Structure 1
Amino acid sequence: MKYRIILFLLLVLGLQSCQNENERRLAENAKEAKKKEKIFSNINKAWIFIDEPINEVSEKNAVTWTEWRDFLKEIGDKPRKTIGAFQKKSSAIAKKAVALNNNIPSQFNQPQIKSRISILITKIKMMDLFIHLNQIPDDKVAFLIGEINKELVSLERQMDKIVEKAKIPKEQGEEDFLKMLDTTRAIQNTEPLKEPNLPRVE
């Protein structure tokens, strides 16, 4: 009889601890779900990219430069519903950003443009990295979206500057003068250096 009572008490205690464990697990799951919902909400609110060209030059580039057009289209499509959708979109944007290095129009194939594209790619890759972490730092993702927008504006303004500068007529002889300043075009001295006549010591 004693054994039955002890067994019964052990069974009740076991059931009680299981119930407490389940309640704890449910509370943790609810807390985690709420946290993910907040992260999603913050990223969803911050996910606004400047996908429209800000000047005429950028607009023309969207017609002639395929990679630029594809990139602007990719950042313009906002994902919906889940964090997973934002993660996929972020990876797609990173791929399109890297492709900007391909087929840069000859007019813009200059260090100023290439460096801005490089900075833009770096910031997009950072955003992609953060959004794929287990614990997503939504504040950093939101900050990087703002930084990416700044880089986009900087890149488009630089394109505009290059076009405006090309419109300025060059003065007579300026082209030759610029060629003379270009050290890469200078004629290399191929003769070996002669030693100066030094007095001999005998």
Structure 2
Amino acid sequence: MKYKISLFLLLIFVLNSCQGEDEKRRAAYEKEAKKKEAIFNNINKGWTFIDEPINEVSEQNRVVWTEWRDFLKEIGEKPRKTIGAFQKKSEAIAKKAMLLNNNIPAQFNQPQIKSRISILITKIKMMDLYIHLSTIPDDKVTFLIGDINKELVSLERQMDKVVEKAKIPKEEGEADFLKMLDTTRAIPNAIIDPNLPKVE
């Protein structure tokens, strides 16, 4: 009889402890779901890219530079529903950004444009990295979206400067002077024989 009573008490104790664990798990799950929903809402609210060209030059590039047009189209489409959709979109934006280095129009194939493109790519890759972490730092993702917008504006303004600078007429002899300054056209250094006497 004592054995049955102790077994019965043990069974009640086990059932109560299991029930307590289920409640803890449920509470932890609800807390995690609320946290994920807050992260999703913050990213959804902050996911606003400048996808429209800010000047005429950028608008013209949209017509002739396929990679630029595809990139602007990609950042213009906002994902909905889940954080997974934002992760996929971020990955797609990163791929389109990498392609910006290809087929840069000759007029813009300059160091100042290339450097702005690489800064833009770096910021986009950082955003893609943060959004794929197991615990997403939504504040960093939204901050980087703002930085990406600043870099886009900077790139478009630099394109405008390049076009404006090209419109300025060159003075007579300026082209020759610029050629002389070009170090790639300089006479290569002659190989010096170490056995020759040196003049000091």
Q: 1:110 is matched with which residue?
A: 110
TM-score (norm 1): 0.94
Q: 1:153 is matched with which residue?
A: 153
Structure 1 residue 55 corresponds to structure 2 residue 55: yes
Amino acid at match of 1:9: L
Q: Aligned residues: percent identity?
A: 78
Q: 1:82 is matched with which residue?
A: 82
Amino acid at match of 1:95: K
1:12-161 pair list within 5 angstroms: 12-161=12-161
Tell me how large the CA RMSD over aligned residues is.
1.4
CA offsets 1:131-152 (integer angstroms, 9 cap, x no match): 0000000000011000000000
Output the CA distance in 2 between the equivalents of 1:41 and 1:175.
56
Q: Structure 1 unaligned segments of length 5 or more: list them.
A: none
Structure 1 residue 195 corresponds to structure 2 residue 197: yes
Shift of the 124–197 alpha-carbon distance from structure 1 to 2, 3 Å rule, reads: closer
Output the CA distance in 2 between the equivalents of 1:23 and 1:197.
91
TM-score (norm 2): 0.95
CA offsets 1:81-118 (integer angstroms, 9 cap, x no match): 10000000000000000000000000000000110000
Q: Structure 2 unaligned segments of length 5 or more: list them.
A: none
Output the CA distance in 2 between the equivalents of 1:64 and 1:155.
16
Q: 1:7 is matched with which residue?
A: 7
Output the CA distance in 2 between the equivalents of 1:139 and 1:189.
54
Output the CA distance in 1 between the equivalents of 2:191 and 2:129.
55
Shift of the 196–126 alpha-carbon distance from structure 1 to 2, 3 Å rule, reads: closer
Output the CA distance in 1 between the equivalents of 2:105 and 2:26.
57
TM superposition shift of 1:189:
5.1
TM superposition shift of 1:3:
1.1
Amino acid at match of 2:167: K
Helix, strand or coil for the counterpart of 1:51? Answer: coil
